[in-house]
Every structure is written in structure tokens, then in C-alpha cells.
Amino acid sequence: MPTLCTHLFDYAAAETVPVTACNLCGALPPFQPVADVDRYGFPVRIVQCGACGLRFQDPQLSADATCAFYAAAYRPLVSAYHGHPITAETIEAEQAEYATQVVDGLYPWLTEWHTSILDIGGSTGVVADAVRQIGRVRGRPMTVTVLDPSPEELAHAAARGCQTVHGLIEDADGLAPRYDVVLLCQTVDHLRDIAGTLARIRGLLSPHGLLYVDLLDTTDGPYKLDHPYALVPRTMVAYLTRAGFTLLSRRRTEDRHVAYVVIPGRHSRPRAL
């Protein structure tokens, strides 16, 4: 059984904020308690919205506390939990195989109109670079921008020829007005404001743009401090629909992730899932 790692982050001293409304449907408290501890052993309170079924942390880390957590504690915490170091180098190796899943999911939908990529939480740029290779194979260049809170991982992305933006999507500056492909890979669960982020992504996408997003299906847990929202396929589809996206495809992977490719706008006859 993994070792508890609560000594690596002082959760009791971290600033938290209460949830005043459900992020998905806007319902007001009170919310139904579900759990009071996460997989690391932190006393994280998980609740469920009675109106839409979304499960989430209440209270949640504040914006400043979230930045401090990712800057100093996240990688050591996950490394200790899994029992081996997780660094920029190990992430590159692990994401190489994962990148093939993303490419397989996007390949049928990419056209000559898709020439710019934004990878939110893109880490070392392995996944975005793999998607860029599709354009190279088809004889058209694709530019890549990687947004991530880790300077070390962004340095690896820059070495791949990616443009880089340091920060979190909720408050990042320096992004272009439009992108043709936005990747939200193994990242949506980490967001502080999923509804707001999806709305911003919809504004960043070109009219013919594609969004690739995948979630860890937490129907049977686990709850994690680094996942403010415990998503399941039903709540993810509700998020995408409310944000004004139409689903093109959905696929489940062996590692309990469910991936979606969506387009901006509502279409009367979307492709069957």
C-alpha cells in the first residue's frame, strides 16, 4: 500500500476557500458529504452536488495556495506516493506512449486548416510534439504553444522548438487570440475552475478548431488533493455541453481515462458516439 505523504505539504496551514456554488450547474450549498480524506492522507472534504451530481472538494485550495502547492510540493508528493522519482525526464518517457493515444484520437479529425496547437498543462511538450508530427507527415507546418506551471518542464518543451507560456490557464497571459487545436490532456481534473476554463478555451479556438480533453474516471475513486473535482463521464459531458461544444468522439483507455474530441458550437446532427 502506498505510504501516506502528508509531511510533504502543510495542508492545515494552506489557505482554502469555501465553495459558494456548484461549478457545473450553479446550485447553492449545502452539499452532501462524500469523503473526508484523500489518497495521500490529507483531510480533504469531498462533497456532491444534489442537483447535478458533481463531486468536488469543499473547501478548495486558494489560487495562491494552489500555485505554492504545484511549485514546491506536487512532484515530491506524487513521487513519494508512487515510490519512485517523477521528474521532467521520467515524464517524457511515460508520456511517449500516452502521446500515441492522443494522436490516435485526433488523427481522424485533423485537416489542412489545423496549423496551431495550444497544449494546456503540456509539461515537457511530448504530447503536443507528437500531434505536430501529423502535420509534418502531411506536409504542413504546425506551431505549438505549451502552457505549464513548471519552469523545468517548460525548458524541455522549449528544447523541442515549442513556444512556452509559464502559468495556469485560469490566469495566464501571453496566449494568441486563436488556436486550431487545444489539448487538455490529463489536466482538466486539476483545474480550479473547469466551467470558466472551458469557456476561455472556446474563445481561444478558431471556428474550425478541435479540443481534445480527457479525464480520470473517479466513479470508484480515488480522491486526490491535486484534483479539486472528481469527474465522471456524465459530468464531463455536461460540462462540455454547457460550454457550447459538440462531441465528435469518445474513447476509454486502459488506464481509466476517458477522452473526448469536441468542436465549438452546437450542431443539430453531430456524429454518433
Query: What CATH number is associated with residue 162?
Result: 3.40.50.150
Structural domain contains residue 126: yes
Q: What phi, psi does 263 have (nearest 5°)?
A: -125, 150
Q: What phi, psi does 224 have (nearest 5°)?
A: -140, 140
Whether 207 and 132 share a structural domain:
yes
| Count of structural domains, the chain | 2
Q: What is the pLDDT of residue 139?
A: 67
Q: Rounded to whole angstroms, how far apart are CA atoms 218 and 168?
A: 23
Q: Give buried/exposed letters for 76-104 (b at 16+ CB in 10 A, else e).
A: ebbbbbeeeebebeebbeebeebbebbbe
Q: Rounded to whole angstroms, how far apart are CA atoms 189 and 222?
A: 12
- The string of pLDDT tens digits covering residues 134-185 is 877 676 789 999 999 888 899 999 999 999 999 888 878 889 889 999 999 9
Q: What is the pLDDT of residue 62?
A: 95
Structural domain contains residue 272: no
Cell representation of residue 51: 442537483
| Three-class DSSP category at 48 | strand
Whether 58 and 101 share a structural domain:
no
Structural domain contains residue 197: yes
Q: Give buried/exposed letters for 160-184 (b at 16+ CB in 10 A, else e).
A: bebbbbeebbeeeeebeeebbbbbb
Say whether the peptide bond before residue 29 is cis (omega within 30 degrees of 0). no
Largest interatomic CA distance in the chain: 55
Structural domain contains residue 269: no
Q: Rounded to whole angstroms, how far apart are CA atoms 4 and 26?
A: 34
Q: What is the pLDDT of residue 174?
A: 80
The beta strands (E) that lie in the chain are given as 16-17, 32-35, 46-48, 55-57, 60-61, 116-120, 143-148, 163-166, 179-184, 205-216, 229-230, 245-252, 257-264
Q: Are 71 and 61 in contact (CB under 8 A)?
A: no
Whether 101 and 236 share a structural domain:
yes
Domain ranges, residue 200: 93-264
Which whole-number Å values give the CA distances from 114 to 163, 170, 215, in the listed order? 17, 24, 24
Whether 214 and 120 share a structural domain:
yes
Q: Rounded to whole angstroms, how far apart are CA atoms 240 and 247?
A: 8
Whether 172 and 211 share a structural domain:
yes
Whether 65 and 188 share a structural domain:
no
**Digitized pLDDT (tens) for each residue of the chain, 273 residues in all:** 445 689 999 999 999 999 999 999 999 999 999 999 999 999 999 999 999 999 999 999 999 999 899 888 998 999 999 898 888 788 878 888 899 999 999 999 998 889 999 999 999 999 999 999 987 767 678 999 999 988 889 999 999 999 999 988 887 888 988 999 999 999 999 999 999 999 999 999 999 999 999 999 999 989 999 999 999 999 999 999 999 999 999 999 877 899 999 999 865 444 433
Q: What is the pLDDT of residue 2?
A: 45
Q: What is the pLDDT of residue 165?
A: 94
Whether 60 and 119 share a structural domain:
no
